[in-house]
């Protein structure tokens, strides 16, 4: 299964990380190619995004199921293609380094199935690690930005 993982140290307490990633509305818009998402219930949503697979650009709809909320360290989820034959899983994991520093890791794995799977999966092997890095960095930067706003009292 094509996958990627990216870790970043953040100068914030683990609670700040958890407060952000525990709500998928905060991080769904940060997915590269994001177009829209709809929350179905507290553990399930549908997402639509535009993805580039090589020279092919497609709009993809997926169902996201949260499989684990483990406060304050872990959010795990599965991805199921609605418009395409793809599936995968992902997570955000946080580990306290100190009271005011946290190591955050984003993980993402995806596999294409069906007739196009053998063509798309080699491309996903290069795309997914970059996507995992971009998403994790975007989440970290958004958390930092939100903390600055809170610190200013806005």
DSSP alpha helix (H) spans, 1-154:
14-21, 24-27, 117-152
pTM (predicted TM-score): 0.89
How many Cα atoms occupy the beta-carbon half-sphere of 121 within 13 Å?
A: 15
Per-residue pLDDT, 53: 64
Residue among 138, 124, 101 nearest 53 (CA): 124
* Mean pLDDT for all residues in the chain: 91
pLDDT of residue 100: 94
* Predicted pLDDT at 58: 81
Two tokens at 130?
């970059």
Write out pLDDT tens, residues 28-84.
Answer: 999 999 999 999 998 999 999 987 766 778 888 999 999 999 999 999 999 999 988
Residue 83 pLDDT: 87
Which pLDDT tens digit goes with each residue over 80-124? Answer: 999 889 999 999 999 999 999 999 999 999 999 988 889 889 988
pLDDT digits (tens, 9 = 90+) for 124-153: 899 899 999 999 999 999 999 988 777 666
Place of tokens 């993809």: 60
């Amino acid at each position: 299964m094509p996958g990627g993982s990216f870790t970043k140290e953040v100068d914030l307490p683990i609670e700040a990380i958890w407060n952000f990633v525990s709500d998928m509305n905060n991080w769904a818009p940060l997915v590269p190619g994001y177009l829209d998402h709809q929350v179905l219930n507290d553990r399930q949503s549908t997402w639509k995004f535009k993805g580039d697979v090589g020279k092919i650009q497609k709009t993809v709809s997926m169902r996201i199921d949260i499989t684990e909320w483990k406060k304050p360290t872990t959010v795990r989820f599965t991805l199921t293609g609605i418009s395409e034959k793809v599936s995968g899983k992902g997570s955000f994991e946080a580990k306290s380094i100190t009271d005011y520093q946290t190591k955050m890791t984003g993980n993402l794995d995806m596999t294409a199935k069906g007739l196009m799977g053998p063509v798309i999966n080699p491309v996903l092997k290069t795309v997914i690690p970059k996507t995992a890095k971009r998403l994790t960095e975007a989440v970290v930067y958004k958390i930092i930005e939100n903390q600055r706003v809170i610190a200013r009292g806005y």
